[in-house]
Chain A
Amino acid sequence: MTATQAAPAAPTPGVGVGGPAGGQRVADGATPTVRAFFKQWSFWVGAGVFVVLASLVLLLVRGGTGAADSAPLSITSPAPGGSQALAEVLRQQGVTVTAVNTLDAAQAAVAAAGGGGNGGGVAAGGAAGPGRALTAATGPTVLIYDPDEYLPGDRYDEVSALGARLVLVQPDIFELEGVAPSISLAGPPTGPADNSTTATAGCTLPAAQAAGSITISGTTYRPTEGAAGTGSTGSGSSGSSSTGSMSSGSGVPSSIATAQAVTACFETGGNAYSVVESTAGTVPVTVLGSPDVLTNEQITTAGNAALALGLLGQSDSLVWYTPSAADVLANGPPSLGALTPGWVTPLILLLVVVFIASAVWRGRRLGPVVVENLPVIVRGNETVTGRARLYARSGARLRALDALRIGTSGRLAGMLGLPRRATLDEIILQTSAATGIPAADIASVLVNRLPSSEADLLALSRQLADVERVVRQSVYGSAPPTSAAPSTTPSSTH
């Protein structure tokens, strides 16, 4: 390959078959120009731009309304398991509903709502008296729904200190111990827990009385033994079966503060309740065992709506706290991301760009692929090989040996100077005469013996070759002509 400076004169024409004669005419381009490209592909380019723009617009619209959340009891979820209906009704009633998913955000939301704190909650509770504590709460109500148990155990104190009132929806046993030790788990309801049955209030809790009955689902709870016993004797406030049934307890008088601490409503079986309220702790805590009461699907059945609104609508603002994985991370050791320097991610991005750029660099072809019709390659001896495999596979020993015998007899006849039409008997006799081998042996090799096995076939084919060699030696002498050429020698003419 040489690239040399050509003489200013034109190259010697004449031998050329290609190339324009004029010399200065610019060659036609096979690659379309940018303009031609867009003209040709305008529809698809337009369609692509349209799709991208439409996706952007859709994204913006959806972003404005907020993405639908399919998590259970999400206040933005219109699904059957969500709670958007309840949240909307509460908003219409003037309650500010704030959804948060970390404890820090919940604390901030409570602080923003202007209430909460231990002092306010306790003061309000104390002033209003145990019976009507809920109506007097001025701080925000905090609903906690933690089905995945994200809330770390060492932060239950902070949960207790959150707001004026806590509503725990289906808490687990650890959450109960940490936040409301006066209430304990009573296991699943004795009846079906699929909202097919209802339970009546049977207690003095205003919200429960307003509701009358609710559907049963989830888990049930009961007052902790010690607390309930003292509570029932001390209060004596109701003739309901709820606390009265516990009256046969130990009966040892305790402090006044815990006297009327626990109220249990909606009994679903032997000493198991769907709603239990405790004012024993620093803040009043209501445990709602059946979360389906709050869902869009079940809110309209029985007295579910009344109970939900009664429990959650007592204060001006409601913090809807559903703990998430962020609560766990916030407490773990520093993550890998926090430990790596800030330039690592941009560097990785840069390497990705470099990778793409080198792919484009190496992958861009210089011109189109050159096409060429290539000849098919057929090996000439394929038929021979194929036929040999057919013989071998089907064990056609006799047929294979026949071919060898006919070939050998033909060559023997040629060597012995017999005519083409000589019979096999003549060939056998002449061969016997030429070699001295008994005619019967020659006949058995050339005709009579049948190959009963592969070993037989091999032996016979070798004997055929031997006979041929012996005849050749006896005819042509000890220095036979070079080739063991068969009858139809190459380049034989007519």
Chain B
Amino acid sequence: MAISGRFVLLVALGAVPVVVLGQAYDLAGVVLGWWLVLCVLLGILDLCLAGSPRRVSVERALPMRVRLGETVEAELYLTNSGRRTLRGVIRDAWQPSAGAATTRFGMSIPRGERRMVSVELRPFRRGERRVEQLSIRSFGPLGLWARQASLIAPGRIRVLPPFVSRKHLPSRLARLRELDGRASVMIRGQGTEFDSLREYVRGDDVRSIDWRATARRDEVMVRTWRPERDRRIVIVIDTGRTSAARIDNEPRLDTAFEATLLLSALASAAGDRVDVLAYDRRTRARVQGATGPALLSAIVDALAPVEPELLEMDWSSIPAQVRQITNQRALVVLLTSIETPGSSHGLLAALPQLTQRHTVLVASVTDPSTFAAVTVRDDRTSTYIAAAAERALLDTARVSAAVRQLGAEVVTGAPADLPPAVADAYLALKAAGRL
């Protein structure tokens, strides 16, 4: 049950008869009593005439997915199957981070009819945004008292990572094509494999003439080469406690997702097979075996609900996890954080097992404010901060050196720079034939 401002006003209006009749006939107390009784009786009458808020059927028409930062329309269909007209206020209880423009609206539904409401959603957090309940406050014809009930009408919308780094994709694809045979790279070398034999045309490198094939045929044949294809790439995303840190107002985890998406798009265009694993002490998300256009949507779908966990990353089980994904030689990309020798102990301990079989690339977000702090030495406080920032950079450099010594590559960068940097590292490895 609920009451309206109109009812409060009605009660307050009782001041007039109380004062007037009290002054004239000294009946103030009696008038007060009867006025309150009248108000309550009117309220009860109103309550009895209100439409039932329970006899409403609810349907939702929701888009399945939305990218973070985009706007979608969520439609809500309400059918009044009660005996009386339903008039009042309805609240669609979306979670706050679903970014509903408004959650409550006035509505009048005659009996047996249906009304549609569209709510504009602009989610501001990644993951699964839900609505569980719908609350209806149904006023009577006088608008004094209302019946109120909450109905269970679940709905959800999956908010995908924004993939803002897709703007870097065209330039990287162009560089990939330069590597590729399509750009008429006929040079044999590392990172290429035998593609086919064809007739010699003028201008071809004489060194690529295949004499055996020439001997079998009457024409001079040359071998053509193309970059390696069908390599395995395993991306391991650290979802442990350090991934929660915000750098440039973006959690490390989200930067890792951006890098994952860009690298996956690039690698699948290059014909490599990509597997993704989000892990801390257990698997949070895993994408395996998806290829082509399905890969990216599978990755965003799997990664959307993943959040940083308050756990220390279990590096010791990563080699086994990678082995479970592939037995071939692969490029293992570890998206984690390189900070201090102490906190990177587990990573350094597990790296040799990985570098033994695979090419390993360790990518870490660095804080641009740390670099900025090193040069500011205006006063005592900023000098100490510069010293601490310098110390942090030295720590990072030490860990990076240790990682390189163990045979892995290191890529660091600010949140905006890391995804293209990882893509570039991939291209460089591919060009060098180290996949």
Contact = CB atoms under 8 A, between A and B. Distances in A.
Chain A CB within 10 Å — which of B35, B118, B368, B383 has the most? B383
B369 interface: yes
A391 B387 contact: yes
A439 interface: no
B380 A378 contact: no
Interface string A355-379: 0011011001011101011111111
A3 B117 contact: yes
A385 B392 CA distance: 11
A458 B114 CA distance: 75
A485 interface: yes
A226 interface: no
B38 interface: no
Contacts of A391: 384, 387-388
A404 B22 contact: no
Contact of B91 (A367, A374, A465): A367
A488 B413 CA distance: 10
A381 B374 CA distance: 13
Contacts of B62: 15-18
A343 B18 CA distance: 7
Interface in B398-428: 400, 404, 409-414, 417-418, 420-421, 424-425, 428
Contacts of B412: 488, 490-492
Contact of B11 (A25, A350, A385, A407): A350
Contact of B117 (A1, A389, A404): A1
Interface stretch (A26-34, A140-148, A187-195, A287-295): A26-34
Given A372-B96, A376-B244, A407-B393, A27 B56 contact: yes
B137 A366 contact: yes
Interface string B2-29: 1111011001101100110111001011
Contacts of B115: 3-6
Interface string B82-102: 000000010101111100011
Given A350-B14, A367-B91, A461-B377, A27 B421 contact: no
Contact of B7 (A23, A26, A361, A399): A361
B149 A493 contact: no
Interface string B112-133: 0011111110000100000111
B385 interface: yes
Nearest to B421: A491
B148 A354 contact: no
A380 interface: yes
Given A2-B117, A391-B388, A465 B393 contact: no
B339 interface: yes
Contact of A16 (B61, B131, B396, B397): B61
Nearest to A458: B383
A24 B79 contact: yes
B291 interface: no
Nearest to B10: A357
A342 interface: yes
Interface string A84-117: 0000000000000000000000000000000000
A27 B64 contact: no
A11 to B, nearest CB: 5
B172 interface: no
Interface in A441-470: 454, 457-458, 461-462, 465
Considering the complex of A and B, which 3 residue pairs feature the smallest CB-CB distances, nearest first?
A: A343-B22, A367-B135, A400-B387
